[in-house]
Structure 1
């Protein structure tokens, strides 16, 4: 049975965690866990319990009798579970069952995943099966059913974080069938609202993650030249960030219209407009995005026009990212700079980041207010209607009372690179 945890006086509500005033100092090194040295995450148990207290408050506000948080080891799907227990399986699903005022009971499908979840969080962990991702031998809903019946939660309101995009449909159907008197609803927004606003301590975590990403961009700048292949550059960039403890790393080096271009054997050539994109998580678990534009030799007028327009749009988005505006306002400011070109977006213009993706999403339809403490990645990606020329940049910003603070120490510019 879960133990009852009472947060310290002064930390009883998650609203006390909202940042105010100036953030402290410069980036600090990633912290070690207060758990065993074998734990692969440096998140402290105290921080996990502060987040749990925030979840209890939100559950009370929404009248939830139970909350199930899901996670899977994919970008945009791992963060909810890792945020609350400090760990998410690399591939398989994991769950945390939370009752008001009680520590989570974590459900994992393998003993190995259960070991890490227990070592990091200190919470109770139960094992559901053998972890085969393509068979139906494991029954995670069956273990969840046992937990809820032990706690006499068979009616009322059950919220599920990730119900629409993480939880397997078979699991969702099984939970509804097991508890016909429980009203099951998607509670993803509950945790989104908590994750989106960072504490002062998290500011330092984000800056430290930004310093790691900058190291990858600097490695590109040091080694890039005409004749050097994308594979070679990828290797240098990944080496630079892995040496600093980066966990997840995505690198794109492209000369075409879209930035989602895996590095390949082809070398950089004179006349190329190069988009270099690096997304990474530092050892502290925080995700940042950084991309820049580079030229090899003389580029054509159309490529230069798109590159300069992309940079102007990026600056306009930063200027609009102020408390009181909405994500839609940021989008409109960005797109006002690109309208004359008739440029098309290759992907949405940005989104919140932290432990995985956060809200808001920088699109014209997102009316989420910009709030102090949000951390937002802005990444305009423009292409011409013929999909022959494109440009992308990206930066991660902390929203402060004074505006959007770029965490990168490498200013955006259209930079020339040399020849090998």
Structure 2
């Protein structure tokens, strides 16, 4: 019955207090009277503990006014928040037991709110429960409010992302131990999963081993397909380190000399495109311009219809978060923003390739957080 989370390092109380204060101000600037933060990455960002979302309501109420924040939590779940420095953070803890109405507790806390912002991932069960308890309050999403805080990483967050990047690089450096003909993708994936934890992650969040034609499916997982000599294999892997920040890195391998006559030329285009996009990153340029730097090279080479996803996504406590590096996103990049740069070229039914690094915008340019070679790595078969 226990649902306590494993202990993970949390930011200092002063950092969390600053985040809570800025969240309240951001809510006010967005016209919301309060934020209702469900368990998940937003909660971990604000109080250092992600918690868990179940049928019983847990929510952090962050008012836009000077009213102290409040953690509304089932009494049986309270031990899972024992590491949260609620006194230092000025958070009132409001517990409830089965038979109480937790939504009424939230309503009492937000008072005559005109607008409340609910977590993007709050369960509909709880969104509708709050709506019933505060029927006169307009609901909006909290994600657009909090992304203004979370998009810009501080020094400690960047250090954690660096650590995550180095850890996943160590896994890619070992690929020759597992990737060889006669083994299935699933067998290779199991070895990679174990290595991700061995090299410093708390878990493997995703392991993609796309061999041969499966490499042309960007979100392929693993399968029982047996890897063959000459296969090109896309390996996209990542997960969180104890601080909660994630790695995400893709490299493409060939098991012996690749079968396809078009592999070398096509891969060279991809490598130029990925490097051009990384080189385009600096403060003040738009997210869309980084996407265009990769996409234009691929399109000019005649592969535009084979690059079927955005160039990148933000990363932090979530693997996918703001900012998104995609056409139409005119958001100017700022120092501290962290995201992937991962163009791909996919030939359906034959093979695919992707190169992915995590990068951070610096004061003058860009810092890549992954350092493994970008060339097509040919492994002994």
TM-score if structure 2 supplies the norm length? 0.85
Aligned equivalents of 1:269, 1:259: Cα separation in 2: 20
- Flag the 1:298–1:58 CA change in 2: closer, same or farther, 3 A: same
> Corresponding residue for 2:294?
334
Q: Which runs of 5+ in 2 are unaligned?
A: none
C-alpha displacement of 1:207: 0.6
Distance 1:155 1:235 in 2: 50
**In the alignment, structure 1 residue 211 sits paired with structure 2 residue 170:** no
Deviations 1:246-269 (A, max 9, x none): 134111111221232223344321
- 1:276 & 1:263 partners in 2: Cα distance? 10
Q: Displacement, 1:221?
A: 3.2
Is 1:197–1:373's contact at 8 Å kept on the other side of the alignment? yes
Kindly state the Cα deviation for residue 111 of structure 1 after the two structures are TM-superposed: 2.4
Distance 1:105 1:310 in 2: 50
Distance (whole Å) between structure 2 residues aligned to residue 244 and residue 91 of structure 1: 29
Q: Which residue of 2 aligns with 1:235?
A: 190
Corresponding residue SS for 1:119: coil
TM-score (norm 1): 0.78
Q: Aligned in 2, Cα 1:45/1:259: closer, same or farther, shift over 3 Å?
A: same
What CA deviation, in whole Å up to 9, does each residue of 1:9-52 have, x standing for no partner?
A: xxxxxxxxxxxxxxxxxxxxxxxxxxxxx961201342322211
Unmatched runs of 5 consecutive residues or more in structure 1:
1-37, 72-77, 131-137
1:328/1:365 contact within 8 Å kept: yes
Contact 1:273/1:293 (CA < 8 Å) preserved in 2? yes
The aligned counterpart of 1:390 is 352
CA offsets 1:126-170 (integer angstroms, 9 cap, x no match): 55667xxxxxxx98xx41431331x461233322231xxx23334
SS for the counterpart of 2:49 is coil
Q: Which residue of 1 aligns with 2:7?
A: 40
1:104 aligns with 2:63: no
Hey, what's the Cα distance between the residues in 2 that align with 1:128 and 1:388? 57
1:330: how far off? 1.1
- Report the alpha carbon displacement of residue 309 of structure 1 after superposing the two structures with TM: 2.3
**Which one of the candidate residues 76, 80, 90 is aligned to 1:116?**
80
Change (3 A) 1:367 1:85: same
Q: Please report the RMSD computed on the Cα atoms of aligned residues, expressed in angstroms.
A: 2.6
Q: Determine if contact 1:81/1:94 at 8 Å carries over to the other structure.
A: no
Contact 1:306–1:390 under 8 Å retained in 2: no
Query: Closer, same or farther in 2 for the Cα pair 1:346/1:145, shift >3 Å?
Result: farther
Aligned length: 361
Partner Cα distance (1:227, 1:322) in 2: 44
